[in-house]
Structure 1
């Protein structure tokens, strides 16, 4: 007992500087220095600091245990990887797994090539081949919707100018007074009058078609002016052809001619609305509003003959 006490007391006489420093056991996975010594970290010269390395360096040698990693990939420095177009590295163990997120750059569409549906945008019309003039004229009467949709990007100057000019040559005979003057006048004078009337109808059709196109663009349309003007001239001429045929034999003041004139005017309104709607991607109320001035002008000048 005496020797034990002496030994214990002898050991207690040492100063704190003489007592050997016992380093705490290193954490799991810690590496030692070159000669088996303690880890030479940033706190190696300071005895008051802990002898184990910082927590961040220790985490680099840990293996993942299935927990989500919110502070970066622990293998990012050891195994640098090239990012893919989707915004994540190839072979990323955390990509698309439950509890993990994927980073995308600003403006990157992770679900497609950007050709998605956009609300409020009208679908692009299928571009079709140019129709022959015979198919164009018959299509306006028999199948107006598909015809206008197919010809919305094709100018129709040839058929439009020809049909409108021919319609103007005969329009002078659709009114009682002008028909009597043309019949009683000399042939040269009547011929000049007929030719002038044809040119005036062509110019009037161009002006009215341009007005319709301008109004359609103001209402939000996106069609081209050449197909719009050309198709409007064809609608104006073709829809009034039945009334003109009856007027050549019965006169413009006949009741049947008046009824046919009103019916064809309503048909012209429907065709104008369909044409502007297909050519400019507009709903039918706006398409009808864009055609209103041309319809009123046709009713006043041609159908009723009041101007």
Structure 2
């Protein structure tokens, strides 16, 4: 029976991890939530008639509990908050749909209550009917429909539609980093949309802008200041990657990695740059880099 329980859980693990990451915006916390679900499954699994529904219900409720417990911590976070980067190699077909793990979408989910987030994800992303969602959350179907309506109002139009090829955006991203390192400010401006934004998450652990920079002039001024203070090295170890469905790079620095993801606009210019510098959100990236170095 242990093998049967394990097989049933492993068959559902990928779905549970995708759900937990979207709920929590953290790779590490998602893995912990799924592990907690596994521990509960080992105690209850033999008496469960629908393993998939039971595991989704348990994982969802665990995530809601984590979100509620972390509310004060999120509110006290220093500077802009970004989700932990979800990284896939550019050389492989994407596992995740870009629009469902995009930074813009995950930030929109942050505006929802834990219950609204669960309802929206289960119904809109994982395509469960309202009756199943109501059963998962222990709410009436009418209450679930009301939660879904409110969530849609907040999340509407937050999933980007990418009209520019990933190869083109990767070229833009590379050109942006080269122009930054060489202080080519005219080139930088030509790559950025007029209303482009730069969001940098240092979490108070590493230097980062404490507000969202809005407009290409604001972004270029920041880069000018960093160059003047020697904050941008001329050479970087760059590893192309798909970060939350967007082309970008893992930047390997002496004090640890960071990530930059680039969102394009319909005009082929960069409209958003998402930079994660908080080392607490990059532990899984550092671990992957160390593993690559060992095997490579």
- Give me the TM-score of the superposition, normalised by structure 2: 0.21
Of the two, which has the highest radius of gyration?
A: 1
More strand by share: 2
Answer 1 or 2: higher relative contact order, Cα 8 Å, separation at least 6.
2
**TM-score, L = length of structure 1:** 0.21
